[in-house]
Amino acid sequence: MKFRDILLALCAPLLLGFGFAIAKPAMQQFPPFLLMGLRFTIAALILIWWFPIPKKFLKDLFIVSLIGGTLTYGLVYMGLDRVDASSSILLVHTEVPFGVIIAYFMFKEKPSLRSIIGMFIAFIGLFILLGAPNLEGKFIGVVLLLVGAFAWSLGMVMAKPISKKIGGLVVTAWVCLFAGPLLLLGSFIFDGNTINYLSNADLKGWSIVAFLGLIMQPIAYGTWYHVLGRNPVHKVMPVMLLLPLTGLLTAIFLLGEEPTKQVFAGGVIILFGIGMILFSNPSKK
């Protein structure tokens, strides 16, 4: 990837990891479906006015939003109810190899041996960072998380050719517009008392929601779709393995959590693996 694309791709895990850490207090006031629904809806409402309606791609964008947004978050959050957080993060990041495999079958994108080794090294770092998963008696939760990770990967790969034609911000705007209301509907169905949550939230909670919807979602996914449309999936997807690292660093510096040697060791290994992928020599055409 070009150096500019690398910098843009890094916006996604940096902003999403930061948002994940600061969203912890907000989740005490907004349950998961409601928080995600507000995040997507707010982002859509500030973006769609700036771009013409992509009439030729509305059906495809709806499918992407349904698979990579609504279905993904529904499955992942149902899985989170059954599996501990660290194991869940590890399982969700199977989205990276899933994405590479899907791109191979859909677009015939073949990752290099260096990229495969880099992904393997990064997963070792992720394993060290999060610890061994405790999955005994959690089969249903594991399946939900893995299917959710596959759905996200499928949605991202399906969005790749659309992003190349209409741009990452346009894809972000319309995916959010389709997914946001469906997630809010999910909140009414699964969370219950949605109106009470909205009316009882304080300024701190709404400030976090505003950051997620106005800044994190548009910039993180706008740049992500843009880079994904310009580069092979096996070059871009592994960048998401940085997300738990950036989330932990945010928790350390902003929330006062104390890092362990395990965090530093896992983080260094993840960075090394991702570096192998991002800074490999471009393939000759």
pLDDT of residue 278: 78
Measuring CA to CA, which residue among 6, 102, 90 is closest to residue 270?
90
pLDDT score of 13 more than 90: no
Q: Where are the domains of the chain?
A: 3-278
**pLDDT tens digits along 204-239:** 889 989 998 999 999 999 999 999 998 999 889 888
Residue 274, CA distances (Å) to 108, 232, 235, 236, 263 in order: 22, 15, 9, 10, 16
- Distance between CA 233 and CA 109 in Å, rounded? 8
Dmax (CA) of the chain: 58
Q: Work out the angle between the directed axes of helices 113-130 and 95-107 (0-180°, nearest 10).
A: 160
Q: What value does the mean pLDDT take over residues 86-102?
A: 83
pLDDT of residue 259: 64
Task: Answer with the residue of higher pLDDT: 137 or 147.
Answer: 147
pLDDT of residue 44: 94
- Distance between CA 213 and CA 156 in Å, rounded? 20
pLDDT of residue 192: 78
- Distance between CA 5 and CA 22 in Å, rounded? 26
**pLDDT tens digits along 95-121:** 888 888 999 899 888 888 888 888 888
